[in-house]
Amino acid sequence: MTTLVHIGRMFYLVSPNATTFQDPKDVPKYVNEAASTFVLFLLLELALRLWQGKPARLNDAYTSLGLGIMHEATLFFSETALLVGYEWLYQYRLFDLEWDSSISWWAALVLVDFVYYWVHRANHEINLLWAAHQVHHSSEDYTLPTGLRLSMFQRLTYFGFYQPLALLGLPVTSVMVHLGLNYLFQFWVHNEAVRKMGPLEWVFNTPSHHRVHHGANKWCLDKNYGSLLIVWDRLFGTFQEERDDEEIVYGLVEQPQFLNGVWHELFYLEKIYEKARGMSSWSDSLRAVFYGPGWVPGAPRLGDPDAFPDVKAPRAKYDPQMPVWFMVYTALHFTLAFGAQQIMLVHLKVSPWHTAALFLAFILLTMGVLGSMFDGWRWAPLLEAARCAAFLLYARAAPITSSPQLDAALYFLFSMSTFFWTVLSLRTLRAPLKIVKED
């Protein structure tokens, strides 16, 4: 598969004949196949930002990449939940659309995109669903890595939205194809380099439209939900043009001050619990869960926009600085975690469940512990030593790859890492101040 084909998919430049399948097992893993193309685009954007003299915050990018890896590592359960019950509903379809018909392909393009608009809107308007989706909005930068910053629970929030397409007779393979292509299209719109795109702005979602969607400014909130097409926002009153007179502040209205990707996945659930617990009635407690994130007692379902904070630029970003060696170390171990995700994806169907659980635990620990070190958590070096030691115990019992030489190199790397972090953790725990971060 050539890079040009992958790039074409990213811009929805595909042939219906080449993206039509009868059996769900034959539908490609479009996101996984595009991994090398993602890396290429990320490096090109990084080079462009450095050439333009713009800051390249690797700490924020690492968090985004880590969340993307966790999102794909949990594909085996979240993807199943996405279309569970679809084939059963398909038995009661109103229309018969053949799997190899061009009508099926084009109908799926429009209808999957239409449903995504409502899925996305629900993710913003229902607090429990926002708990997953807020992860995507938590980056204070608007760069390509932000397009990969997705919660591992994100696909679960789609349950119940796409299933009705079965009643219209859309083959499940058509839905799966366009869900994958929608994801790829949404990756490239996360950039500041592409400004306005002329007449295309009237029909398609563009970087300009999506920049508004990621803004924490009051005029940006809950706008531009479209994936491929922006016409849904224009039809349903949620469209907002990008302004030239006000800089967009990216991130959440109440921006979290940490980079730990695992905690980004979970912290908002605690906020929902505290909000519901603080209500004076059961009905208000339920509203705290199922109404909008900005709802308070006495306000409309989505909250009172006049009471929302009006975020303005400039807003200081959470930007802990780390030594260069640690940034290199993090990049290396993130790469290894990505490799573990790839191995897990390939061997999941032939491996016992506990092997997949161990690989997933390794990935989650990698993202959580390294993120904690960015945040200066005192116990993080000791946990990193334990993580590396756990890898050594597993590697002694079973080969990691099919190459003995590569396994030996990994064993050496994790042995040195275990020793280094054990020594550093002892120093850290004895010191009165954090010593991992640079001053």
Q: Average pLDDT, stretch 2-17? A: 90
The predicted pLDDT at position 369 comes to 95
What are the C-alpha distances in Å from 82 to residues 20, 176, 233, 267, 414?
20, 10, 24, 24, 37
Query: Are the beta carbons of 112 and 175 closer than 8 angstroms?
Result: yes
| 255, two tokens | 């921006």
| Domain identity same for 206 and 337 | no
Look at residue 313 and tell me if it is in a domain: no
Residue 306: CA count within 13 A, CB half-sphere: 2
Question: What φ, ψ does residue 229 adopt, rounded to 5°?
Answer: -105, 135
Look at residue 223 and tell me if it is in a domain: yes
Q: Is the peptide bond before 305 cis (omega within 30 degrees of 0)?
A: no
Query: Are the beta carbons of 259 and 371 closer than 8 angstroms?
Result: yes
Cα distance between residue 86 and residue 160, in whole Å: 9
| Domain identity same for 45 and 143 | yes
| Domain identity same for 66 and 184 | yes
Q: Average pLDDT, stretch 185-197? A: 95
The predicted pLDDT at position 207 comes to 97
Cα distance between residue 189 and residue 101, in whole Å: 30
The predicted pLDDT at position 434 comes to 47
Burial class of residue 102, CB neighbours in 10 A (0-12, 13-18, 19+): exposed
Look at residue 189 and tell me if it is in a domain: yes
| Domain identity same for 31 and 149 | yes
Structure-derived torsion over alpha carbons of residues 310, 315, 316, 317, reported in degrees to the nearest 10: 80
Q: Closest by alpha carbon to 109, among 247, 206, 12?
A: 12
User: Among the three residues 207, 236, 265, which one is the final residue of a domain in this structure?
Assistant: 236
pLDDT band at 38 (very low <50, low <70, confident <90, very high): very high
Q: What is the pLDDT of residues 154-170, one digit of tens each?
A: 999 999 999 999 999 99
| Domain identity same for 225 and 328 | no
Average pLDDT score over the chain: 91
| Domain identity same for 197 and 69 | yes
In the chain, how many domains are there? 2
Q: Is the peptide bond before 293 cis (omega within 30 degrees of 0)?
A: no
pLDDT band at 301 (very low <50, low <70, confident <90, very high): very high
Look at residue 241 and tell me if it is in a domain: no
Gyration radius (Cα) of the chain, Å: 23
User: Among the three residues 197, 220, 236, which one is the final residue of a domain in this structure?
Assistant: 236
pLDDT band at 234 (very low <50, low <70, confident <90, very high): very high
**Residue percentage of the chain with pLDDT more than 70:** 96
Q: Closest by alpha carbon to 129, among 151, 113, 112, 147?
A: 151
User: Among the three residues 205, 236, 267, which one is the final residue of a domain in this structure?
Assistant: 236
| 91, two tokens | 């038995």
- Tell me the residue type at 172: V
Q: Residue 3: which H helix or E strand, with range?
A: helix 3-10
Place of tokens 């190199």: 409
Q: Is the pLDDT of residue 229 over 60?
A: yes
Q: Average pLDDT, stretch 407-414? A: 92
User: Which of 31-35, 111-115, 189-193, 261-265 is predicted with the least confidence, judged by mean pLDDT?
Assistant: 31-35
| Domain identity same for 207 and 341 | no
Q: What is the span of the domain harbouring residue 400?
A: 324-430
Look at residue 269 and tell me if it is in a domain: no
pLDDT band at 431 (very low <50, low <70, confident <90, very high): low
Look at residue 119 and tell me if it is in a domain: yes
pLDDT band at 77 (very low <50, low <70, confident <90, very high): confident
Q: Average pLDDT, stretch 370-384? A: 92
Q: Angle, nearest 10°, between helix axes 172-188 and 102-125?
A: 60
| Domain identity same for 203 and 331 | no
